[in-house]
Structure 1
Amino acid sequence: MPTSYQAPRRSDSERSKEVSQSAASNLSAGTGKVKDIIRKKGDDVFSIRPQDTLGNAVQLLSEKRIGALIVADANGTLLGILSERDIVRKLAETPGRTLPQKVEEVMTANVEVCTRDEPLISVLRRMTEGRFRHMPVMEDNRLVGIVTIGDVVNHRLNELEFEALQLKQLIVG
């Protein structure tokens, strides 16, 4: 046996192992907050009154190229939300008689809301489980924005692209 040979020692297998990913890094979407989206997207929220017609709502949805409207009273108090999906269901129930109907007859009155400080992973989970795509953002009983499931997914994709770029730079040097 060569004199430079050294038998493996117990301490050799106890070396700390470094990994590129961990549970914490894979769940980094959990660190994102609703305020991150509102900061980029802005706090514009389009609303309609409960007494307005679905025809008015459809026109506003089309003009603004959005998928839902907040239903609010004259004081801006949140009363409900009206989505494209709500309108489509009503169209199926009352073909040819839908557009003159009032928003308050079709809107979803029991609205899930979030705050700016809520983690995005929590908002995404609630949207997925509740099968809805729009969530008003409230602070001190005041509407301060709206987030969509698309906003949340897009935010996470941007985070993943940034992480991938950082890894490439780390590898390349």
Structure 2
Amino acid sequence: MSSQGGSRRSQKRAPSTSKRTSSSENGGNLSKPPSPQGESSSSVGGAGGERTVKKLRLSKALTIPEGTIVSDACRRMASRRVDAVLLTDANALLSGIVTDKDITTRVIAEGLRPDQTVVSKIMTRNPIFVTSDSLAIEALQKMVQGKFRHLPVVENGEVIAILDITKCLYDAISRMEKAAEQGSAIAAAVEGVERQWGSNFSAPYAFIETLRERMFKPSLSTIITENAKVAIVSPSDPVAVAAKKMREFRSNSALIVTGSKIQGILTSKDVLMRVVAQNLSPELTLVEKVMTSNPECATMETTILDALHIMHDGKFLHLPVIDKDGGVAACLDVLQITHAAISMVKSFNFCCNGFAVTICVVLKWNKICLS
């Protein structure tokens, strides 16, 4: 997960943080930015009655000059309890964004001193943004596809807030629950056909059972690859070592493990809030002093929907997953799980159509066999 890093087309003109100006996102129309990958807002389930970004509980953006020292930026972020800050140039135009991951992987992991590094050196320039009238699910898609958790929100050319992915989780959960409800209705219809035809409903039965299970009860095991890479450190390792592990594994977190058991988790936000903002030395501070002990874990059988609920209710962004023996299987972040949820919902209509066609074929096939 990056702080909006990676390749992208540059904006023609950045939005202002203090005055209204005309602006564009990646060369597009500011008032109605294109949906991700050219999709319409209805491509994931329809736009009717859906929430717009302005209806979410937006956080007022913390904005600082791009010449600010990293240590000062971290203290200001900690005082506001935010993990992202917007940067402005000399003309008060949005020039970049810095997040907790940037602090961890671009400062601490690189051995830079926070009190001697300016934020412009580590910021992501020309961040992607959304307008306040964009659909919340569109904003969520942008974050998932771009692999970042924060989006500046623009209204009439002016940055009015910053959107965190956690504010969009409700929309992802709502979509999955609706899909599950429709799936249950289809499953009931299938069971009705089974009762009607009894033993004659046998030829495509295995296919329908497999499709139904994969569609309506996808578990975390479906998105965890074998030998998944996890950043793991010991309790006695310094924070600097954990930061390097996070950079190596392109992760926002590291698990603290003793033997095969998870003792704690250290996230990039912990590094920002509990180390840099407190003026502690990453080289001398042990992870056991600043980690979150005994984090809530999921199992391979936990459903994607339940995982979203766990993260939404617990207000955390990382979910360790254990195997049947209690060992580490993976550590999923909110983007990975949300991506899985969106993918499931996007394929739902296709699978529903597949179910309908299959049922029709089955009924016709059985009718022919019985005639």
TM-score in same-fold range (> 0.5): yes
1:51 to 230, 233, 236: 236
Is 2:341 the counterpart of 1:148? no
Structure 1 runs not aligned, ≥5 long: 1-20
Is 2:291 the counterpart of 1:107? yes
Aligned residues: 148
Paired position in structure 1 for 2:52: none
Change (3 A) 1:160 1:63: same
Paired position in structure 2 for 1:7: none
Q: Deviations over 1:41-70 (max 9, x none)?
A: 852222001111111111221222110011
Counterparts in 2 of 1:87-166, with a 5 A limit?
A: 87-95=271-279, 97-138=281-322, 139-165=324-350
CA distance in structure 2 between the aligned counterparts of 1:22 and 1:94, rounded to whole angstroms:
45
Whether the 8 Å contact between 1:50 and 1:103 is mirrored in structure 2 is: yes
- Cα deviation for residue 29 of structure 1 reads 7.9
CA RMSD of aligned residues (A): 2.8
SS at match of 2:222: helix
Whether the 8 Å contact between 1:49 and 1:72 is mirrored in structure 2 is: yes
Paired position in structure 1 for 2:221: 35
Structure 2 runs not aligned, ≥5 long: 1-177, 185-213, 357-371
- Cα deviation for residue 98 of structure 1 reads 4.0
Whether the 8 Å contact between 1:29 and 1:121 is mirrored in structure 2 is: no
SS at match of 1:62: helix
TM-score, L = length of structure 2: 0.36
CA distance in structure 2 between the aligned counterparts of 1:125 and 1:81, rounded to whole angstroms:
19
Amino acid at match of 1:83: T
Identity %: 20
CA distance in structure 1 between the aligned counterparts of 2:183 and 2:351, rounded to whole angstroms:
15
- Cα deviation for residue 93 of structure 1 reads 4.3
CA distance in structure 2 between the aligned counterparts of 1:100 and 1:30, rounded to whole angstroms:
48
Whether the 8 Å contact between 2:275 and 2:290 is mirrored in structure 1 is: no
TM-score, L = length of structure 1: 0.73
CA distance in structure 2 between the aligned counterparts of 1:23 and 1:167, rounded to whole angstroms:
11
- Cα deviation for residue 92 of structure 1 reads 5.0
| Structure index of larger Rg | 1
- Cα deviation for residue 38 of structure 1 reads 0.9
Higher relative contact order (CA 8 A, sep 6+): 1
CA distance in structure 1 between the aligned counterparts of 2:239 and 2:307, rounded to whole angstroms:
28
SS at match of 2:243: helix
CA distance in structure 1 between the aligned counterparts of 2:321 and 2:280, rounded to whole angstroms:
34
CA distance in structure 2 between the aligned counterparts of 1:42 and 1:53, rounded to whole angstroms:
26
SS at match of 1:38: coil
CA distance in structure 1 between the aligned counterparts of 2:270 and 2:307, rounded to whole angstroms:
21
Paired position in structure 2 for 1:10: none
Paired position in structure 1 for 2:246: 61
- Cα deviation for residue 132 of structure 1 reads 0.9
CA distance in structure 1 between the aligned counterparts of 2:233 and 2:248, rounded to whole angstroms:
13
1:84 to 268, 271, 279: 268
Whether the 8 Å contact between 1:72 and 1:78 is mirrored in structure 2 is: yes
